[in-house]
């Protein structure tokens, strides 16, 4: 299905969007990738949603990406005898391993690994930062704290530790089970929560074992500090602004978002901007002006994808939320300023033959009457490199591998077309010209740029470029081999 925009839309499925009709309507409205949140729903429910997506994909004969988002370890306090307590600013409060129910002076924190990593002066954030505690003294199994920001703490509220690299694996036992289930199901991306260091990504990659691409969610300050290494270790990145805004001052999040988007663009890795993009549309058919501006900002920055969470999973207006995102994206991309910003922020990278080929393809397309860039790709790398250039013309990514086409549904500007296995470059040119016409990007009177790697079917060999007519008769006449 051809989209009239370059940025991709990720829609989370949930109770409000689990039936066949709604999922079809979400895709028709603009959803390119569907997110399956492993934090909610049983394996049977998630498998049913996945089956609907794949049936829709078969009906439309168009690749659709599926992202399974792992929950990550959850750090929570224990329970209180009264169900909840009110903590006042300046009061003392103790966290420990005692299994007794808590009161206004203490509560259990059943995570000895946290106590082992704490130091005096560290902050603990409870219930998404509504209550803040500063560690005054700590030791084996306890932390004596001062209440910095008072409020109510109730049973099993979450705890964040922003100042410390925790000796906690990014994958819990549940995550390992969910990862294996999702890979066996056939998802295209695995999103990894609680990433603190590149080693977390490598652990997940070993378990995935090539069955899906690995995407790291950046939601902790420790990950921001090692972002270059994490990007290098990952296939893609998600800027999880909600969690970042809990563990960092909220004013820090926008510049971090901008830096991460640019770093991912330079690395030719897809980047999703996520969380609270159209939050008000959970209950309202119309977004706020501020939310529309927020979505537009991510698009102007050059993000590969923008994501809906509760808006499409549990909201009252899931299809309307996707429709709004699609409308905002098309309006932004029609603005001449959008092209100016992308071109001003382009990072010239000339480290390989492939880099030179895709840069030349963009330059040729922008200085002549070229209608599209068609690239043949096995692993998806060539298409990602072309997308890094952010060309002004559409990108037609052609592959004979369904998994590659599905993963590219997350990459900026790519329109994926399945093709048979090729052995000669002339076949590739003919197929590209035919696809450009069939998909509505060109007519027989137009020209396209074709890139490929020869010999075919070997990843990482992009080494040839041709400006070709879209009239197959001219291709055969000018290249009669």
The rounded distance, in Å, linking the Cα atoms of 389 and 391 is: 6
Q: What is the DSSP letter of 373?
A: E
DSSP string covering 393-413, please?
A: S-EEEEES-HHHHHHGGGSTT
Burial status of residue 321 (CB atoms within 10 A of its CB: 0-12, 13-18, 19 or more)? buried
Q: What is the DSSP letter of 346?
A: P
Burial status of residue 375 (CB atoms within 10 A of its CB: 0-12, 13-18, 19 or more)? buried
Select which of 12, 275, 399, 451 is catalytic: 275
Contact 71, 193 (CB under 8 A): yes
The answer to whether residue 275 is catalytic is yes
Select which of 3, 74, 76, 130 is catalytic: 76
Contact 162, 247 (CB under 8 A): yes
The answer to whether residue 35 is catalytic is yes
The rounded distance, in Å, linking the Cα atoms of 37 and 50 is: 12
3-class secondary-structure state, position 81: coil
Select which of 35, 106, 371, 407 is catalytic: 35
Instruction: Report CA-CA distances (Å) from 103 to 109, 142, 291.
Output: 13, 15, 40
List CB contacts of 203: < 8 A, sequence separation 6 or more.
169, 170, 171
The answer to whether residue 217 is catalytic is yes
The rounded distance, in Å, linking the Cα atoms of 481 and 479 is: 6
Contact 189, 236 (CB under 8 A): yes
Q: Which of 248, 249, 298 is nearest to 272 (CA)?
A: 298
3-class secondary-structure state, position 243: helix
The answer to whether residue 174 is catalytic is no
Question: How far does Cα 460 stand from its chain's mean position?
Answer: 23
* Helix, strand, coil tally for the chain in percent (to 5): 40, 25, 35
Q: Give me the active site residues, please.
A: 35, 76, 217, 275
């Amino acid at each position: 299905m051809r989209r009239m925009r370059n940025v991709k839309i990720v829609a989370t499925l949930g109770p409000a969007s689990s039936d066949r009709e709604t999922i079809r309507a979400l895709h028709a409205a603009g959803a390119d990738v569907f997110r399956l949140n492993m934090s909610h729903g049983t394996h049977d429910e998630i498998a049913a949603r996945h089956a609907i997506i794949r049936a829709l994909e078969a009906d439309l004969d168009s690749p659709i990406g599926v992202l399974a988002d792992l929950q990550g370890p959850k750090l929570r306090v224990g329970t209180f005898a009264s169900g909840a307590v009110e903590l006042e600013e300046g009061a003392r409060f103790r966290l420990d391993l005692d299994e007794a129910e808590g009161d206004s002076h203490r509560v259990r924190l059943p995570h000895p690994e946290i106590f082992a990593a704490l130091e005096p002066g560290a902050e603990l954030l409870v219930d998404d930062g509504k209550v803040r505690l500063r560690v005054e003294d700590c030791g084996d199994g306890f932390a004596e704290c001062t209440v910095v920001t008072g409020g109510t703490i109730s049973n099993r509220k979450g705890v964040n530790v922003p100042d410390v690299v925790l000796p906690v694996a990014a994958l819990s036992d549940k995550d390992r089970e969910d990862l294996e289930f999702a890979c066996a199901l056939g998802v295209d991306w695995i999103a990894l929560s609680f990433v603190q260091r590149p080693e977390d990504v490598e652990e997940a990659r070993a378990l995935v074992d090539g069955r899906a691409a690995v995407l790291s969610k950046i939601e902790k300050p420790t990950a921001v500090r090692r972002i270059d290494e994490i990007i290098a270790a990952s296939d893609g990145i998600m800027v999880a602004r909600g969690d970042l805004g809990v563990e960092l001052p909220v004013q820090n999040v926008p510049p971090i978002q901008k830096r991460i988007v640019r770093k991912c663009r330079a690395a030719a890795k897809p980047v999703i901007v996520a969380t609270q993009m159209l939050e008000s549309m959970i209950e309202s058919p119309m977004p706020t002006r501020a939310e529309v501006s927020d979505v537009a900002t991510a698009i102007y920055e050059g993000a590969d994808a923008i994501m809906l969470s509760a808006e499409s999973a549990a909201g009252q207006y899931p299809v309307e939320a996707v429709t709004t995102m699609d409308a905002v994206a098309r309006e932004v991309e029609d603005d001449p300023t959008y092209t100016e910003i992308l071109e001003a922020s382009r990072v010239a990278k000339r480290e390989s033959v492939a880099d030179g080929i895709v840069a030349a393809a963009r330059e040729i397309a922008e200085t002549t009457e070229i209608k599209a860039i068609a690239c043949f790709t096995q692993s998806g790398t060539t298409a990602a490199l072309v997308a890094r250039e952010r060309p002004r013309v559409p990108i037609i990514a052609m592959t004979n591998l369904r998994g590659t086409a599905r993963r590219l549904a997350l990459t900026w500007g790519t329109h994926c077309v399945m093709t048979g296995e090729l052995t000669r470059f002339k076949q590739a040119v003919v197929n590209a010209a035919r696809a450009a016409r069939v998909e509505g990007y060109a007519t027989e009177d137009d020209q396209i740029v074709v890139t490929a790697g020869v010999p075919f079917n070997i990843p990482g060999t992009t080494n040839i470029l041709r400006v070709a007519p879209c009239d197959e008769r001219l291709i055969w006449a000018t290249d009669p081999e």
